[in-house]
Amino acid sequence: MRKVIVMTAILALTACGQESNDKIQRAKAASETSTVQAPIAQWAVEVKLGKTQALSDLTARLLEHGFSSYIYVDEGVQHVLLGPFNTQEQAQEKLTRLTTKLDNLEAAVIELPPGKPAH
């Protein structure tokens, strides 16, 4: 759509006899899309499963207390994660809230490896 508008503007300038290479170049430059890198979330809170605890029980317990989690499988090992978070401080705040609300829970802030899905 944007290119159609730019081409229409270029044609209008040409038809009016106001063809200016500078104006055409500015119109073309405005139509080019600039790439903006979104912040990459690289932190999460990993909640460890107890030896006798089922994965479904842990995720249900987290959800019951207002913590939305997801399961990440890496080389056959299931990890229960909260997040992702853009900063380590945000992940630490979530960990503090988690350990305050839930007793007997082993959890830690982890850095997500590059190239691994954050969600």
- The pLDDT, as a whole number, for residue 15 is 55
| Single-letter amino acid, residue 8 | T
- The pLDDT, as a whole number, for residue 50 is 84
- The pLDDT, as a whole number, for residue 67 is 96
Maximum Cα–Cα distance across the chain: 81
pTM of the model: 0.63
- The pLDDT, as a whole number, for residue 109 is 98
Q: What distances in angstroms separate CA 65 from CA 58, 85, 98, 109, 115, one per listed residue?
A: 11, 19, 9, 19, 30
84 prior amide bond cis, ω within 30? yes
Per-residue pLDDT of the chain (119 residues; tens, 9 = 90+): 545 454 555 555 555 555 556 766 666 665 565 555 555 669 999 999 888 889 999 999 999 999 999 999 989 999 999 999 999 999 999 999 999 999 889 999 999 987 655 55
Q: What distances in angstroms separate CA 76 from CA 32, 58, 70, 103, one per listed residue?
A: 44, 18, 15, 28
- The pLDDT, as a whole number, for residue 52 is 83
Q: Give dist(CA 9, CA 3) in Å, integer.
A: 10
Q: What are the residue ranges spanned by the domains of the chain?
A: 2-31, 43-111
- The pLDDT, as a whole number, for residue 95 is 97
Fold classification of 43-111 (topology level): Alpha-Beta Plaits (3.30.70)
